[in-house]
C-alpha cells in the first residue's frame, strides 16, 4: 500500500472538513471539489487493496 496516498487522503479530508466549517456550507464549491478529489483517491486505495488481496 502506498503510504503517501494514505497521507494525502488524510490531509485532503482534513482540508475538506476545515473548509466546510469555515464556509459554513457543505455545498460550497471548494468543499465539493475536495470531496470529489477524495473520492478519486479512495477509489485508487480500494483498487490497490483489491489487487493486494488477490496476490496473497
d(CA 41, CA 9): 7
Mean pLDDT of 43-48: 92
Q: The domain containing residue 18 runs over which residues?
A: 3-55
Confidence tier at 2 by pLDDT (50, 70, 90) = confident
Number of structural domains (the chain) is: 1
- Which one is predicted more confidently, 30 or 48? 30
The pLDDT of residue 55: 82
Q: What is the pTM of this model?
A: 0.85
Q: CA angle, corner 9, sides to 34 and 2, nearest 5?
A: 145
Amino acid at each position: 500500500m502506498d503510504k503517501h496516498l494514505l497521507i494525502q487522503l488524510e490531509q485532503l479530508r482534513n482540508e475538506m472538513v476545515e473548509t466546510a466549517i469555515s464556509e459554513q456550507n457543505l455545498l460550497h464549491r471548494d468543499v465539493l471539489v475536495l470531496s470529489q478529489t477524495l473520492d478519486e483517491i479512495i477509489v485508487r486505495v480500494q483498487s490497490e487493496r483489491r489487487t493486494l488481496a488477490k496476490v496473497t
